[in-house]
Amino acid sequence: MSYPDRPFAAGAAALRPVIAAAPLTRALRLALFALTLAPAVAAAQTAGAQATDLDEVVVIAEREPGNFAIDRAEIDLTQAGDVADLLSNQSGVAVGGGAPVAQKIYVRGFEDTLLNVTIDNAPQPAELYHHQTRVQIEPEFVKSIELDAGAGAATAGPGALTGALRVTTRDAFDMLALYGDPQRDAGVLVKGAGGFNGENSYKAVVSAFGRWSDRFGAMATYVLQDGGDYDTGDGRRVTPTAYRHERGQARFTGHFGDHTADLSLEHLSDTGTYYERPHMINFAGRFILSDHEMTRETASYNHRYDPASEAVDVQATLFRTVSDYQNRRNTTGQLYGRGEQTSYGLDLRNTARWSALELVYGVDYRRDELDARQQAVPRPFWASTVQTVSVLGAYGQATWTPSEQWRVSAGARWDDYRHRVASGPGAGAANSQARFSPNASIQWQPTEHLTLRAAYADAFRGVTIREAFFSALYVHHGDLEGESADNAEIGVAWERDGWFARATGFRQHIDDYINAVYTGDVGAEWGRWANVGRAEVEGYEAEAGRRWDAYELALGVWNSDTRFNDRPLNDADLGLGTSIGRTWTARFDWRASPRARYGLRARHVEAEDNNITPTAPPKPGYTVADVMGEWSLDAARRLKLGAAVSNLFDRSYYDHGTYGYHSSGTYIGFPAQGRELRVSLSYLF
């Protein structure tokens, strides 16, 4: 049996373990049947036609002013080592936490718990522990990161209340392209990096990759990063913040005529000894050092069938992600909390293209399973829980381009959520709800250089598994309403002779937000899950600049006024968001030669009122600048040196996305890292 003769053989073999691990529910059977049927239908439609080269599917409705896409060149230039390095200088985004273990992503002031995050099309829905980061991303082999902020297109997936963040990693063909030699069939990348601040950090990277003809490629990678406690801008040592990160990935890519297949297996782990609340200092004097471990294992299989037919371009994704954490007392080994969430499912879609119309339609399904325990409260309330949720969705997104000046997009998705508590607090409780989420946008280009856009979208998220730690403490009563969001935006973009400018204004509401509510009813329950109110945000983003042959300069500003039940959000609104001062950004890039490039990134955050207590001081403003450079040290550009200085002026500050001032009258979060020199050296063998 050869793969070229039977192109689905590779995909079927890769999917058997995933399918075997998942019960064949009504949704799974439907989608697998459709996946089997679609190629046969397409083959009948295109009999006798010649195969065409695969091209990239672009869903037009998902790109708009106010969003961003980060490519590999930007990641390499900035010497990114964690999520904050990747995203902090992007419009509309803040990353708080100080220490890497506590970093959280905020989009327009809302926390990433409301954001759909995918890695190689595999959703990452798990929220394990509210004091630790939810999204684990190792930058070293990221190919691109795309953000669509705010509720938007139906293709963003179920429950995308505040948008979608998509991470794509590199494959063997991407790595081989670095050599600039189309005849190259195999290679090895080795890299060493160091960050010099406090007790310093070190990273080692090795990757081996190759291809057999132009049809099949394979890659294996390993990354180890070890970091010590860091220093702030005023020279204070921040402890305990030392960490150890590991990442391994195996990836297999095949091109078989009209078919392309990609299987990715990724493992990440993050270990360290922190306080039981790793985003805080020991302000209460009673926090106990604990050994923390978080891991994520993601398997994703992506298959595309693109024959010579405008009516058929099928994409299918099967995925399985297991995320878990465990915190144990450092002195006794006693469990503080643990949780494991397994998510698996699929997305099957087809794209049909006609002269002026593009239609994307499909179905998706995801099932989440949680097994968690907490032993942090008084012993009578120690508990375990097992919960499940499934969501079945059907969606369509149409984009009509009647002329060069006009583009109209409209779509909708229908999502059916079914949540059940199998054991633990609230055992037997169930929440089920289904709802449509429509969207529409219109874009007008009155001149060659000017584009205007208006959009409106709804998004619905039924009752899902909430934070693993709290799920073993707070009770479900089966009376919850799903959360719904509406988002309205207007945008303008202009470009001419190298000059460019863009701006977006937005207003969004999130109704029936679900949160844990402490009741203190010692005789019955510690607390319960409830619909607690309405969150909203109003704001804007703008950027202007100029591009030359070797230079690019851009200046930007964004501001989000976030509120909850008619009061400003604050740091205590864990899982929802916080208030962040108006943020100004500057970016300068200079390609001095084909073998050298330099960059500057600067961010100024204005002071922001803090309503966490009536007497709380405002969140102080701050300005941070980073400089960076990358050089090819040989003519073949295989030996590369990179260097960056973050927080160039060694400012001492608290990021507004960090839990800072507390009702006790002190700053309890970890301040930001002071000046750090990051250096890397890599070689392609």
pLDDT of residue 522: 67
Three-class secondary structure of residue 668 per DSSP: coil
Give the amino acid at 456.
Answer: Y
Residue holding tokens 């405008």?
Answer: 310
C-alpha to C-alpha distances, 303 to 43, 154, 362, nearest whole angstrom: 16, 21, 14
Q: With respect to residue 50, please indicate whether it lies within any of the assigned structural domains.
A: no
* Residues contacting 520, CB < 8 A, separation 6+: 526, 527
Q: Which amino acid is at 360?
A: V
Assigned domain for 224 exists: no
Question: How far from 366 is each of 22, 192, 362, 393, 426, CA to CA, in Å?
Answer: 10, 38, 14, 9, 23
Separation between Cα atoms, residue 650 and residue 441, nearest integer Å:
44
Q: Which tens digits make up the pLDDT trace of 511-545?
A: 999 999 998 776 678 999 999 999 999 999 999 99
CA 433, CA 417: separation in Å to the nearest integer? 5
Q: Which residues of 317-352 are buried (b: 16+ CB within 10 A; e: fewer)?
A: bbbbbbbbbbbbebeeeebbbbbbbbbbbbbbbbbe
The reported pLDDT for the residue numbered 279 is 87
Distances (CA, A) of 638 to 187, 220, 511, 635: 11, 19, 53, 8
- What pLDDT score was predicted for residue 27? 37
Residue-wise pLDDT for 106-155, tens only, equals 999 999 999 999 999 999 999 999 888 888 889 999 999 999 999 999 99
In a domain, 214, yes or no: no
First to last CA, the chain: 34
Amino acid at 124: Q
Residues 225-264: pLDDT tens digits? 999 999 999 999 999 999 999 999 999 999 999 999 999 9
- Domain with residue 491: its CATH number is 2.40.170.20
Q: Rounded CA gap, 387 and 525, in Å?
A: 18
β-partners of residue 669 are 280
> Two tokens at 124?
């990452």
* Helices and strands counted in the chain (H then E): 6, 33
Helix (H, G, I), strand (E, B) or coil at 250: strand
Whether residue 361 lies inside any domain: the answer is yes
Gap between the Cα atoms of 105 and 108, Å rounded: 10
Cβ–Cβ < 8 Å for 144, 69 = yes
Order of strands across the sheet that contains 68-71? 68-71, 142-149, 163-169, 116-119, 122-123
Q: Parallel, antiparallel, or unpaired for β 122-123 and 430-444? A: unpaired
Q: Which domain holds residue 588?
A: 61-204+321-684
**Residue 195: inside a domain:** yes
Q: Strands 122-123, 186-196: parallel, antiparallel or unpaired by DSSP? A: unpaired
Has this prediction a pTM greater than 0.75? yes
* Greatest C-alpha distance within the chain: 76
Residue type, 313: D
Residue 533 lies in a domain: yes
Total count of domains within the chain: 1
Asked whether residue 642 is assigned to any structural domain, the reply reads yes
Q: Is 109 inside any structural domain?
A: yes
Spans in the chain with pLDDT lower than 70? 1-66, 522-523
Tens-place pLDDT, residues 85-114:
889 889 999 998 888 888 899 999 999 999
Instruction: In whole angstroms, give the CA distance from residue 167 to residue 587.
Output: 22
Please give the structure tokens belonging to residue 645.
């200085």
Q: Cα-atom radius of gyration of the chain, to the nearest Å?
A: 25
**Which residue stretches of 46-177 are H helix?**
72-78, 83-87, 172-177
pLDDT at 415: 98
